[in-house]
Structure 1
Amino acid sequence: MTDEVSTQSRPLPVPPRSYGAVNWVGLWTLYKREVGRFLKVWMQTLFAPVITTLLFMTVFKLAFGSRGQLTGDFEGLDYNSFLAPGLVVMSMLQNAFQNTSSSLTIAKVQGSQVDFLMPPLSPLELTLGFIFGAVTRGIMVGVIGGLAIHLTGLADLSIVNIVPVIWFSLMATIFLAALGAVGGIWAEKFDHLAAITNFVIVPLTFLSGTFYDIKVLVEPFQTAAHFDPIFYLIDGFRAGFIGVSNSHLAVGYIASGIFTFLACVWVWWLFRTGYKLKA
């Protein structure tokens, strides 16, 4: 009788939590972690890039003044109006890259990658959480930087076509966030990450037509510029503000979509295999 009573009063075991096709709670938690990480140091992650963008605009405006009139595809366009969208999207690219790369590299250096590997998160959910946390930072930097340029009168950033602005903003931040994740997973220390930034990301960004019309390049460099994926991101984003571009926008939509998709698949594969993340 005593055994029967003790058995009946014993609490039933709690069944394990079950998830559907997507662990929305875990994905949202990882996303909030990534966003909260850069918001805690907003002076460094949001304010500093805007100051850098404004300094670039100020220096070029002082150097060229009202003399900067472009030719070719952008004939008659003021150079400051040409430059401003390029600087905005460049800051978005760099900050999206820095967010994922620094997050994953810090986790590996500190040995805290178990914090996101142990929870029930699939490789796809890890990919989405890290990438869209970086996208949020990139978009915020772009919006604040664009408003700062426009409100200070350094250049007119009136939107001509909203569709390419939205599309190429998303593709630019997703693509560089994915590359940042790849770099963060591959790098074993911050020196490796700095090498990727200095020898891959910065050259591709600066040689993609941010500061100049690629038509001024001599062959074969002008043709080679069309193989730079960042060229389509900057050229398409700029077209949303000035209405003209070096390449056909349809080509830019397709190229940027393909490059971004492949980069995201690469990140997913790295998380799936546990490359340099699992001992």
Structure 2
Amino acid sequence: MNHNAIVAIYQYEMARFFRTLLQSFISPVVSTSLYFVVFGAAIGSRIEEVEGVSYGAFIVPGLIMLSVMQQATSNASFGIYFPKFIGTIYEHLSAPIDFLEITIGYVGAAATKALFIGVVILITAGFFVDLQIQNWPAMIAFLILTCISFSLLGFIIGIWAKNFEQLQLIPLLVITPLVFLGGSFYSISMLPPAWQTVAYFNPVVYLVSGFRWSFFGMSDVPVLISLGAIAGFTALGLAVVAWIFRTGWRLRQ
């Protein structure tokens, strides 16, 4: 394992993040505040509690998942796409490092950025609602696995994309709708039976449900299934990345 290569890639990506730290810090705080104003005040006045939890607190795990998934995907996709765009990706491919070291560097940096945003949103939420976390180890595990898995997804998108428009296509048209329809701001049990069945085909449901369980001890699906889903998603992402580097798909063109 070439640790120097991993550290070099990781530090380069993190340096780019810290150059825009103020923007990266303020944006999630403002967005979270707006969500609490819109959903917490407008909808919360009509839905005071969901399964014994105040609506303002109930949406916190969904807000964190929404931002973490978006940030992890966008940071990882741009991180690997830009070297493709300017041609420096060939330096990585010709250097004495393998795909795993490249992946750890880029995905690790993107996951760290998303984790930072998640913590910022969690702290911000504490100013709006009385938030209690019942299972800290489970919350941290779900948060880290989500950061890693969606960073892997973003890494794949960055390799697949041929231009900046494609880079934003999947996050905007796929990930964001899945998060909004994945029980981020409501419980799946509130849906009609037919729509509940449809919702269970949405993979984000399992991530949000497991993450919410770590806060309140309540979930729409069994927590072990949620944990298995996020672990399987992570393993699938690693397998796809390994295949990409083995075949050179979209890398050597």
Scaled by the length of structure 1, the TM-score of the pair is 0.85
250-259 or 111-120, which deviates more: 111-120
Residues in 1 aligned to 2:10 and 2:139: alpha-carbon distance in whole angstroms: 24
AA aligned to 1:167 is A
> Where do 1:36-51 residues align within 5 Å?
36-51=15-30
* Counterpart among 220, 224, 229 of residue 255 in structure 1: 229
Structure-2 separation of matches of 1:130 and 1:231: 27
Q: Retained in 2: the 8 A contact 1:85–1:157?
A: no
Structure-2 residue corresponding to 1:129: 105
Residue equivalent to 2:88: 112
1:31 aligned onto 2:7? no
Rg (Cα) greater in structure = 1
1:79 aligned residue: 55
Structure 1 segments unaligned to the other structure (5+ residues) = 1-21
RMSD: 1.6
4+ long deviations beyond 6 Å: none
In the other structure, the counterpart of 1:4 is none
Cα distance 1:171–1:228, how it changes in 2: closer, same or farther (>3 A)? farther
Q: What is the CA–CA distance in structure 1 between the aligned matches of 2:25 and 2:83, rounded to whole Å?
A: 22
Work out whether 1:170 is the aligned partner of 2:144: yes
Distance 2:21 2:88 in 1: 23
Native 8 Å contact 2:36 2:56 kept in 1: yes
Query: Could you say what secondary structure the match of 2:206 adopts?
Result: helix
Once the 2 structures are TM-superposed, how far is the Cα of residue 110 of structure 1 from its aligned partner? 2.1
Letter aligned with residue 169 of structure 1 = L
* Structure 1, 31-40 or 106-115: larger mean CA deviation: 106-115
CA distance, structure 2, for counterparts of residue 269 and residue 43 of structure 1? 37
1:148 Cα offset (Å): 1.3
Distance 1:58 1:134, change over 3 A: same
Cα deviations by residue, 1:54-107 (Å, 9 ceiling, x for unpaired)? 21112222214554234xxx4222111100121012111111111111112222
Are residues 1:155 and 2:129 paired? yes
Q: Normalization by structure 2: what TM-score?
A: 0.93
> What is the match of residue 37 of structure 2?
58
Residue number in structure 2 paired with 1:16: none
CA apart distance, 1:200: 1.1
2:69 matches 1:93: yes
Distance 2:90 2:125 in 1: 42
1: CA distance between counterparts of 2:118 and 2:164?
Answer: 26
Tell me the CA shift for residue 218 of structure 1: 2.8
- Using the alignment, how far apart are the partners of 2:40 and 2:71 within structure 1? 24
8 Å Cα contact 2:32-2:63 kept in structure 1 = yes
Unpaired segments ≥5 residues, structure 2: none
Amino acid at match of 2:163: K
- Aligned equivalents of 2:239, 2:24: Cα separation in 1: 27
SS at structure 1 position matched to 2:53: coil
